[in-house]
Amino acid sequence: MTTSECCLDPVRPLLLRRAPVVFALLGLLTVLMLGINVAVGSIAFSPAEIWQALRNPAEASTTSFILWNIRIPRAIAAVFGGAYLAASGLLLQIYFRNPIVGPYILGISSGATLMVSFVMLTSVTVGWTLFTPFISTLAAFAGAYAVMLIVLAIASRIKGGVTLLIVGLMMGYLCGAVTAILTAFAEKDKIKGFVLWQLGSFSGFKWDEITILLVLGGAILALLYLQSKPLNAFLLGEEYAASMGVNIRRFRLLILLCACALAGMITSMAGPVAFIGMAVPHMARLGFGTSDNRILIPGACLTGGLVASLCDLIARTIMAPVELPLSAVTAFFGAPIVITLLLKRRVKL
């Protein structure tokens, strides 16, 4: 008997055989959304002006300045932000084998918030004029990664995923408590700025930051894609993964490190963006009809980029000139979609 005669084809049911189509569609929509995000804003430009400014980045016109320093970085940041948060959420959902965890479950956002609250609500940093433009970003970065390191140190000592989940939650409460106390003592006008920072925004990205996102994040994503085989084995739980040849200790740390690094990067630059990291992996799973991480890692990134871009567009334009908090839009927009998808497909996640 030859293999072709006696072998089953790995055929999927028709409904689940659609990954290439979905990829093409999402890619197209993301590019379209990038374009819209560059073209649309509180100041209206004609298509000719936009085309002119895009072709001549160095031109000293208002159009060129606004496009190249405000809209384009922001549009790109939204795509990266959504993509990385989604990838981070996907990883942690696999790690904890729990569909309701997101990138912030391990306390990254609380750590960032805590440090930013120090900067924005107290007078500790008043004298540090040299760093002032970056001070929030730096503080958030320090907070996010400090908490992440603590959680990782704990993670290397304990075995159970649920225990780690609780540790992350407790870290969140601890940081939240300090933040709450600082808020109580803060001046009123400072609080509004802080509250808005807590709700996330892709505005004010510098090109340097975009470069960091591209290089570091891209490297992590490439590494992750190469880990999609052990990630798939991990879907069956640690013991099965170990019995199939995955080096569990090393792999556990790798997943956590990558997930935290991705989410930490975005959070320190854009603030905590709710919902995307938790919900987009579900949208991607249902959209692509698979749990195979070779498809889901790029798939969730693409979906995340698209969703974040769309949400940012809505946040910027729907109540212009007032900009809505990003987290409010992501939740408003996304929660019903997830519920609808689940009800309609009746797929257990």
Which residues of this protein are in contact with other proteins, per CB under 8 A? Answer: 3-4, 6-13, 16, 226, 228-229, 232-233, 235-237, 239-240, 242-247, 285, 289-292, 294, 347-349
Name the minimum Å distance from CB 240 to other proteins. Answer: 7
Contact 110, 176 (CB under 8 A): yes
By C-beta, is 1 or 130 nearer to other proteins? 1
Q: How far is the CB of 153 from other proteins (least distance, A)?
A: 21
Find out whether 317 and 128 touch, Cβ atoms under 8 Å.
no
Asked if residue 264 lies in contact with residue 73, where contact means CB atoms within 8 angstroms, the answer is no
Whole-Å CA distances, 241 to 168, 237, 265, 266, 349? 24, 6, 29, 30, 19
Cβ at position 255, least distance to other proteins in Å: 16
Q: Both tokens of residue 50?
A: 């936009």
Which residue lies nearer to other proteins by CB, 187 or 239? 239
Tell me whether the omega of the peptide bond preceding residue 272 falls within 30 degrees of 0, making it cis: no
Report whether 277 contacts 83 (CB < 8 A).
no
Query: How many whole angstroms separate alpha carbon 201 and alpha carbon 272?
Result: 8
For residue 24, what are its two tokens? 């093409």
CB of 122 to other proteins, least distance (A): 45
Nearer to other proteins, 125 or 228 (CB): 228
| 170 alpha carbon, distance to own chain's centre | 22
CA 260 – CA 275 distance, rounded (Å): 16
Nearer to other proteins, 142 or 297 (CB): 297
Strand, coil or helix: 332: helix
18 or 206, CB closer to other proteins? 18
For other proteins, the closer of residues 102 and 230 by Cβ is 230
CB of 45 to other proteins, least distance (A): 44
Residue 245 near residue 230, CB atoms below 8 Å: no
Minimum CB–partner distance for residue 289 and other proteins (Å): 6
In the bound state with other proteins, the residue whose beta carbon lies nearer, of 19 and 146, is 19
d(CA 302, CA 296): 9
Min dist CB 99 to other proteins, Å, is: 8
